[in-house]
Structure formats: structure tokens, C-alpha cells
A = this chain, B = another copy of it.
């Protein structure tokens, strides 16, 4: 455990907890405390410093919320990874940033010039992840996708097709919703592939789901309470919180969001992923879907956000039609993205609003230009209309299925594999591990072997940091659970990655 040398000045204008905070922060930035080191418990530190424990907790909480420290389920505070700052001491800005500095962050403590290294913190909500020193050999990221050369060539074809024509109008402002031909193509695709029932005038093309949620916030005149499952898609959670929406974590069972919990939550909006819940992989059966739709239909202003992020990829059974397609009340807001079906860097998502919300959209948001450039929209349109997208999807389904099978094959019969969840769809699976180690330890030891894994605990929201309390009963296990994404890994990498991971438990 790290020894701390902290000299408190009872005469200082700085409150004691603030002095403790400054000492520890300083040691972290200067490297005196290095990433992964364990800090003394608040009880111990309080005793040594002869201050109340709540004083120490105040300092620790602040360091936690600012991403300097992280906790682990077993308890204890650990230093987070911090990369060296890019601002050289002595630059004009840094010297002068004093006045601005000490106040800049609103609620959080003010960053001084040096604190700009905060840039390199893990994104909010990922404090428990340790950035690896360099590219891991094998990154089981659930966000990984493959971009095969054939598709790359197809994309270039689409670009050339777009360039071939004289299109000066592409440099004039376009429709706020997005280009009409692209919206029609998305409509057609959603109807045949997902049974989504909409007109192109209900489709909004935007640069990513998070941006579309920011628009939705404005259409629905937020802030409003949002019900989310736990664990869930953290980025949507953080977006709602940034916008000032109170997020009510609702327990989910093996059929998805718990209705009683939803009713109690007092939420106006329910954010769900009925076709393939992230990260659990739950598929919501018809009965539960109908109950949810009824909940929405029962009161004015209730809506369901159906995030259909990876429904393109199912390797067994029929695709599950969208919730939107069976909504009799016009209360489902459908969200989809090309980030998984094509690539994250495309930055094109789409939102289908109920007809009843279009007037509000145009009144409040109609003046926004689409956040996707028209050139980008037309490249994508060519990719869809040219049949490239369909071919790409078919190719990807086969490729991802093979990787999925390869991964399951590798896990099969391993003593450390306690159980596997969500194994026949999407781009990741869940593995419950038979071990005494914590998710934290596994992540660190795997990282040391060049393998990056993602602990389920980090996707929990609300009350308990790990969110375990809210996990479905069938996943309430205290054993570590890992997300293993395989979209971006070829089969050799998968085999070697699992072999290295296994070493930790042998």
C-alpha cells in the first residue's frame, strides 16, 4: 500500500479535505503515486492525520469523481492511469490560467494549468478501466468491428460515384432531417430488415446516437426522468446525465426491464434495447414488449426509446422485429446506427420519431442543419442504394458468426468458464468466471499479458458503482463477469487471447 506524506496546515484558508485532495492529486500528477497503487483506507488515513474520517472521505470522493482514483468491489482506493500532460509548464496560458483555473470546472475543483492532463482520463463512467500503456495484442472490446478490404473498395466506389456527378448543390445547406434520398433508403432498409413502420419524414439523420439524444432532449423539452436498465449502455446514461435528466436505474430480469420497477421509477422515458440488451444480451419477449407499450400508452408524454444498435447480427433463429413496428400508440422512438453495421468512424445514426412528435421537432429543432455533411450523406446513400451495404452485411454476418463460434469453441470446457450468456447475437458475449480474483485483478493481469477485457461491473449505473445489486437474478452471481467482444479480432487473435486469459486462472 502507498505511504502518503501529507502535512496539514490548520491555519490555511484551504479546508482540510481540500488540502488532502491537493496533496494526493499532486502526488498522482507528479508520479509519486503511480497507476494501480492502492491508497490507505479512509479510516487509516484519518487516524494518521488525526482528522475525522468524513474529512478524508470528502477528499477521496472528489478524487473519485474526477477520475484520479477508482474503487474495486472488494473495497479500497486505487490510483488511475494518468499520462504525462501535454502542456509544458511555463507556457503563457498555464501561468495566466490562474484566475480562470481555480473556478473553471463548476462543481468539481478548478483545474489549474497542469490539471489539463485531465484530458487523458478515462471517459466518464469508465474510471474503473485502466488505459493500457500501448495497443494491446488482443482487445476484446465490444465496439470492435471489421472493415474488410472488399467493403473498403466498395466505399471508394461509392465515393467515386458521388464525385463523378457534378453536384454543386452538395455545398448548399441541406434538409434539417437529412437528405431525402438517404432518409428514404434508411426507411426502406428499416422496413424490410426490422419491420419499422415509418415515413421518411419521420427519419432524422444525425452524427451519432448521443447527438440524436441531445436533439430528443430538446424535442421533448427536457429535462425529464429516464428509466434505464442496469447494467446498460453507459454513453446514453452519461449523455442523459450531462443534460440534467435524472436517470432512474430499473432492475431487469431475464425478460428485460422490470415493469414494476419502471412504474415505481416515475420515469417519463424508458430507454431499452429489446432486441439485444447491452451488455447482457437479453431478448425481450413479446409479452414484456406489450406490457411496456401499455405503460407508455397509459399516460401522456410517456415514450420508449428503442435502441436497436446491433440487430443486424443474429446467428441463430429469426431476426426479432423491432418494438416500433408493433407500437399502436405512437410512443416508440427508434434509434439505429451504422457504427456497428458499417464502422464507428462513419458517424451516422438515425432516429425515427413518432408522427406526433414531428411538429415539436420542426418547431424547436427545425433550424438545426443536419450534423452529417451532405457529401457524407450522399456517399452513404450510394453505399446503400448501390447494394453495397447489403453485400457488406451478408459478408459481416458470416464473418462474425465464424468468430463467435471460434470464441465459444475456445471457451468450451475450460475450467475457469463458469457460464456464458448472450452467445448467439451481436458482437460480444458474457463470461462468468470461476475464480477468487476480482474483476479488477483479472483486468490488470490480463492487461499485463496484452489482453484487454471489460468487466461487467463497469456497466452498472446508479446506487452501487458495480451495479451488481441491479443485475438480473440469474446473473446476480458475485463471481466476476467479463465482456468479450470479437467483432474486430481474427480467429488467431481470439485463440491466443483466450489462451493468455486462461493462464490467469491456472
Known: A99-B330, A100-B329, A366-B123. A112 touches B168 (CB 8 A): no
Contact, CB under 8 Å: B363 / A345: no
Residues of B within 8 A of A329 (CB): 96, 99-100
Within 8 A of B (CB), among A272-297: 297
Cross-interface CB contact of A369 among B208, B328, B359, cutoff 8 Å: B208
Contact, CB under 8 Å: A120 / B372: no
Contact, CB under 8 Å: A363 / B100: no
Contact, CB under 8 Å: A367 / B147: no
Cross-interface CB contact of A176 among B113, B243, B363, B374, cutoff 8 Å: B113
A172 within 8 A of B: yes
Cα distance, A214 to B373, chains bound together (Å) = 18
Cross-interface CB contact of A103 among B120, B159, B201, B300, cutoff 8 Å: B300
A58 within 8 A of B: no
Known: A124-B366, A359-B115, A371-B211. A221 touches B107 (CB 8 A): yes
State the Cβ distance, A388 to closest chain B Cβ, in Å. 14
| Residue in chain B with minimal CB distance to A201 | B86
Chain A: number of interface residues, binned into ranges: 35 or more
Contact, CB under 8 Å: B345 / A375: yes
A124-152 CB contact bits vs B (8 Å, 1 = yes)? 11100000000000000001000101001
| Residue in chain B with minimal CB distance to A297 | B99
A324-349 CB contact bits vs B (8 Å, 1 = yes)? 00001111000000000011111110
Known: A172-B343, A345-B374. A356 touches B124 (CB 8 A): no
Known: A173-B112, A176-B113, A211-B371. A199 touches B87 (CB 8 A): yes
Contact, CB under 8 Å: A93 / B197: yes
Cα distance, A220 to B165, chains bound together (Å) = 44
A265 within 8 A of B: no
A477 within 8 A of B: no
A86-125 CB contact bits vs B (8 Å, 1 = yes)? 1100011110110111111111111111011111111111
Cα distance, A94 to B220, chains bound together (Å) = 20
A238 within 8 A of B: yes
Contact, CB under 8 Å: B171 / A343: yes
State the Cβ distance, A167 to closest chain B Cβ, in Å. 9
A66 within 8 A of B: yes
A301 within 8 A of B: yes
| Residue in chain B with minimal CB distance to A116 | B366
Q: Return 11 A-B CB contacts under 8 Å, by A number.
A: A105-B359, A110-B176, A112-B175, A112-B367, A113-B367, A113-B368, A118-B358, A124-B363, A124-B364, A222-B244, A344-B369
Additional pairs, 9, CB under 8 Å, beyond known A124-B363, A208-B369: A100-B354, A102-B300, A115-B176, A116-B176, A117-B359, A120-B362, A123-B176, A235-B368, A347-B370
